[in-house]
A and B are shown apart, each in its own frame.
Chain A
Amino acid sequence: MSDRLFVATRKGLFEFRKASSNWDVARTSFLGSPVTQVIRDPRDGALYATLDLGHFGVKLHRSEDGGANWKEIAVPSYAGVDADAKDPPSLKLLWVLEPGGADQPGLLWAGTIPGGLFISRDRGESWSLIISLWNDPRRKLWFGGGYDYPGIHSISVDPRDSNCLAVGASCGGVWETKDLGQNWTLGGKGMRAAYLPPEQAGTPETQDPHRLVRCPNAPDRFWVQHHNGIFRGLDGVATWEEIHAPHSGFGFGVAVHPRQPDTAWFVPAVKDEFRYPENGKLKVARTDDAGRSFKYFTKGLPQDHAYDLIYRHGLVIDQTGEGLAMGSTTGGLWFSEDGGESWDGASARLPPIYALHFA
């Protein structure tokens, strides 16, 4: 299992290290500032952390030394985009960062609120809006879900071809490009939106996939935790099968096993108008057979008045497929080394957790 986890929270960035059997805080960065996302670029070891400073805007920092020192670098900008519009776009949140492929050193992707996808070819020193997606008339039908504007929260590079990218947006559906963002295919057939009039429930460009993940070892196989349930991608992002779990299908996070596409994890919550664990008991769901059945695990998780919600970037899996981590809106942080069947909680009382990243 990975022995290092970065935790992005409402009050800073925390690096956890595993020593013997305990996970402890090894380093803090940006204490007091909201850190909304953190990644380690496996190609060069650089760390990237995104900050939402509220009054003073969104910032991006890079560390070349494992988090000891950080340098502020450029953020995606909407300067000059739709400048004549009544409400011209402006960066509200840098929601997701992903490195490009192994053969694309220095290339980064960023998804933002409002719903723009950006590319950097120089390790975040400069960014360009993927204008083909921004100007797509179907993109203009996107709307915000939970935020005032829509946003891109999931980006997945195809490990077979780094020019191929899948993207998930709330509420904007699932999209795919095969040419580094020049042309786009809108997927999502089979998804269902109960928050729209019945005749529009299947409209692909207004679906709300809360989180989209791809199985690295079976790159055409995807899972989505959607606003209206769990969906399994059968052939890339084009066609989806709705999965009916025995307990609530509502949630935000989803993780897929790196080598077994039929194995995925979810953290169910009472559906959208309430958003807390059923009966105040936190549990993790796992399917090992592509959604035909689910097992629910509670060992080590709070079962007495627990109101932890796991955000979309708050459930992660490591490369072994056995190690998972989960962070909650009330600052709970748990680790599992047995595929989610049992969990150990961190002793630290953390701020609300936005995102986790194994490194």
Chain B
Amino acid sequence: MPLISFTTHLQSVGPDEPKRYCGRTLGEVLEAVARDFPRLPGYLFDDQGQLRKHLAIFVDGAMQPRDQALSCPLTDDSEVHIFQALSGG
């Protein structure tokens, strides 16, 4: 199962350490995570169901274009990191 970890900014609403979830794509894995953490989707997706634009998603070390990230295929050995983009203030 792919291993997914989230920025510390999301630890109050998501897993607080890397965790394995079933899924053949990133979208499926996030659906699985959401079953354990129902508040998390509101932080990852806007109300039109789009990934929030200031998320930075890496799959096996490669940053994924936001408009294609959910369909990104994963293997059992895949590692996913979800960060937030840097910002000021």
Contact = CB atoms under 8 A, between A and B. Distances in A.
A78 B48 contact: yes
B54 A54 contact: yes
A329 interface: no
9 contacts: A10-B89, A53-B43, A54-B87, A77-B47, A79-B48, A83-B48, A88-B48, A90-B47, A91-B47
B39 A56 contact: no
Interface residues of B, number: 18
Contacts of B87: 54-55
B61 interface: no
Given A55-B55, A72-B39, A79-B49, 15 more contacts: A10-B89, A53-B43, A55-B52, A56-B43, A56-B44, A56-B84, A57-B42, A57-B46, A75-B47, A78-B48, A79-B48, A89-B48, A90-B46, A90-B47, A91-B47
B9 A55 contact: yes
B64 interface: no
A56 B48 contact: no
Contact of B48 (A10, A54, A90): A90
| Most B-side CB within 10 Å, residue of A57, A72, A89 | A57
B84 A55 contact: yes
The residue in A55, A57, A77 that gathers the most chain B C-beta atoms within 10 A of its C-beta is: A55
Contacts of B84: 55-56
B50 interface: yes
A75 B43 CA distance: 12
Contacts of B85: 55
Interface in A56-106: 56-57, 59, 72, 75, 77-79, 83, 88-91
